[in-house]
Chains A and B, each alone.
Chain A
Amino acid sequence: MLAQVKSSCVYGIDGYLIDIEVDISRGLPASVIVGLPDAAVKESKDRVKSALQNSGFKYPSKRITVNLAPADLKKEGSLFDLPIAIGMLCASEQIKKVRTGYIIIGELSLDGKVRPVNGILSMALMCAKDNFKGIILPSGNAGEASYVKGIEVIGVSNLAEAVDFIEGNSDIAPCENKCDAGEGCLNPEHMDFSEVKGQEHVKRALEIAVAGGHNILMIGPPGTGKTMLAKRVPSIMPDMNIEEALETARIHSTAGANKKYFRDGIFKRPFRSPHHTASDVSIIGGGQFPKPGEVSLAHNGVLFLDELPEFKRNVLEVLRQPLEDREVTVSRVKTTITFPANYMLIAAMNPCPCGYFTDQNRECRCTPLQIQRYISRISGPLMDRIDIHIEVPVVRFRDIASKKPAEPSAHVKSRVEKARKIQKTRFGSGKIHCNAQMNSKQIKKYCCIEKEAEELLNKAMDNLCLSARAYDKIKKIARTIADIDDSPGIISRHIAEAVQYRSLDKNIWPA
C-alpha cells in the first residue's frame, strides 16, 4: 500500500513543501528512507518505531520504503517524524480515512509525544501561500504559527491525538490568530529612556541616528552608561508592521528562538549584543546547512557591539557587506542562502586602552602611540559606514541625584516616527528608505543647504580639518536633523549640530 503525506522543511528562512511517500511491500522486514536524508532524518525510523508501538499502534513488519520528495533537496532535522509515522499508519491501513489539505510537522519522542521543532513560522507562511487548509504541528509551536493569517493551526501533543484528528474522529480547535492582537509597542522589560539620567546630548544623537537610520559609535570612559543607552534604543524605534515583524520572527524561528521570543510577541524590535569574542561565522551566519548569524537576528532591530576595538579584525570586516546591502549571502558547498540583515549598528568603545582619555577627572596613562593603535583597530571602510560618532562623558553627580524625570521613550518615538514619514515621502518607492542610505548624487539632490549654513559648514571644514568623507556625512546628518525639525531646507543650526557628531574626525585624536 502506498500513502502520501504533505510536510515541509526550511532552507535558509524559506519553507519548502516536501511530499512524503510511504510504501509498504512484501519482503523481509526492513525500512529505508530515501531522498537525501541526513543523520537526524535517518534516525527518525527508530523514533517512529518506538513511538508507534508505545502509542498502541503496530509497526508494520514488512518492507517499508519512505521517500522524501523532491529527492534532490537535502533534508535535515527531526521534523519529519510525525508525517512519516502518519504515512506508515495510512500505508498499513491503521488509518482508514484521512482529512486532506493539511501539512504535518513534528518530532516524536519514544513514548509518542510530539516535540516542538525549529522554523515553524517559515513553514506556516509557505502553507498559507500554497493555499493549504491548515497545519498540524507540535502544540509547543502553535503559538508561533498563530501569527500567520488564513490557515488553521492545529497543535497536537501526542501521536494518538494527531491520528484522531486526521481520521476525523475528533476536532481540535484551531489556535486563535494573534496577527492583529499584539500590534503596537510591546516592551515587556520596560526599558525606557526616562531611566537614564543626564546624557541628554547622547540621547539626542541616538534619536537622530534612529530617525535617519544612521549607524552610531559611542565613545566614552567606562561606566558612563553607553550600554544602558544602547539597550533602550529599540524603545524609540518606530513600530514594526506585520510584514517586518514576521520577517524578523522567521529568522528567529529558524535559528531556534526560545519560547520567550514568541511569548513576548513578535512586534518587539530585536536587540542583539554579541560578546567581542564572537567568531565571524556566528556574526554572519553559516554551517553546513546555513543558519542565520547575529546580523540577521538583529534584522529590523539593533546590533550592539560593545568594546568595538576588542572584536577580532576579520569579524569587523565581515560586517561591511551587510551594512551596505542590508542582506548577507552565505555560501557553502551544499547550499547558498541569502539572509536579510537590515540592522542599525550601535557600537561602543573606550577612547583609549586605559579608558580615561576623554575623562575630565582622571588621568589617562596611555601614550599617543597606544591610543593611535587602539583607534586604528577599526578599519577605515567600517568607520566609513558609521555616520555619527558621539562622545559620552562622565555623568555629573547632580544629574544622577536629580529627581526630575527624563523624557520618556514614547515622546522621542513620536518625533522619530514623524521624521521617518518625511523620508518615506521623499524617497518614495525607490531603493532607499532613509537618509543614511543616500549616495553622493542623492545628497546633492536632497540636501539643499541655505547660504548662511553653507558658509558655516565651509568654516567648520577649514577650522576642524575635516575630510571630504566627513563633509558628506555632515550633510546627511544635517538632513535628518532638519527632518526632525520639520524643516525643508537645512539651516545653520542643523549644520552646527551635525558637525558635533563627527568627533573622531576632529584632531584631538592622535591619529
Chain B
Amino acid sequence: MKTVDLARAGEEFAVKHLIDKGYTILERNFRTKFGEIDIIAEKSGSVVFVEVKSRTEGTGYIPSEAVDSRKKRRLVRLSECYISRCGEKYDGFRIDLIGLVFKAGRILSVEHLENIIEG
C-alpha cells in the first residue's frame, strides 16, 4: 500500500471511529496557508481537533511518536486559526491524536489519545 493510500484509509477509519463514539464531524482536511487539520469534530459543545497517524506494522515505528513538538506547535496554530474563524459557538476545545496500525491493509490497533497538548 502506498503511503498516501494508507493515510487516506486511516482517516476514513478515524472518522468512522469518531462517529461511533458519538462525535459530529464538522470539517475534514481543514486547510489553511500553513497546513491542514485532518478532522474537526464536535461533541456536547466542545470542539476536538484530530490528528490521524497511520503506520504499517513491523516498521518499528508507533504512530504517537510521529507527533513532535514542532508538529504540536503547528497543531496549536491551526486550531487557533479555526477557533478565530468559527469558534464562538463552542466553549471547549482540545486536540486529540488517533494512532492506527495497519497490517496487510487491515487495522491492527486503534489508539485515541485525548488532549495531547497542554500548555
A residues in contact (CB < 8 Å) with B: 26-32, 61-62
Contact = CB atoms under 8 A, between A and B. Distances in A.
B119 A29 contact: yes
Contacts of A26: 87, 91-93
Given A26-B92, A29-B118, A31-B119, 5 more contacts: A28-B79, A28-B80, A28-B94, A61-B115, A62-B92
B113 interface: no
25 contacts: A26-B91, A26-B92, A27-B93, A28-B76, A28-B79, A28-B94, A28-B95, A28-B117, A28-B119, A29-B93, A29-B94, A29-B115, A29-B117, A29-B118, A29-B119, A30-B118, A31-B118, A31-B119, A32-B119, A61-B92, A61-B94, A61-B115, A61-B118, A62-B92, A62-B93
B117 to A, nearest CB: 7
The list of the 5 closest CB pairs from A to B, nearest first, reads: A30-B119, A29-B118, A28-B93, A61-B115, A26-B91
A29 B118 CA distance: 5
Contacts of A28: 76, 79-80, 83, 93-95, 117, 119
Nearest to A49: B118
A64 to B, nearest CB: 9
B36 to A, nearest CB: 17
Interface string B60-103: 00000000000000001001100100010001111100000000
A31 B80 CA distance: 16
Nearest to B75: A28
Contacts of B76: 28
A207 to B, nearest CB: 66
A1 to B, nearest CB: 11
Interface residues of B, number: 14
Contact of B83 (A27, A29, A30, A61): A27
Which of B80, B87, B93 has the most CB atoms of chain A within a 10 A radius of its CB? B93
A30 B79 CA distance: 13
A26 B117 CA distance: 15
B111 to A, nearest CB: 19
A27 B117 CA distance: 12
B84 to A, nearest CB: 11
Interface in B43-69: none
Nearest to A29: B118
Contacts of B115: 29, 61
A30 B80 CA distance: 13
Contacts of A32: 119
Interface string B3-47: 000000000000000000000000000000000000000000000
A80 B95 CA distance: 29
Contacts of B118: 29-31, 61
A31 B93 CA distance: 14
Which of A27, A28, A31 has the most CB atoms of chain B within a 10 A radius of its CB? A28
A48 to B, nearest CB: 12
Contacts of A30: 118-119
A71 to B, nearest CB: 20
A62 to B, nearest CB: 6
A58 to B, nearest CB: 12
Nearest to B118: A29
A31 B115 CA distance: 13
Nearest to A28: B93
Contacts of B93: 26-29, 62
Contacts of B117: 28-29
Contacts of B80: 28
Contacts of A29: 93-94, 115, 117-119
A28 B80 CA distance: 8
Contacts of B91: 26
B85 to A, nearest CB: 15
A62 B91 CA distance: 9
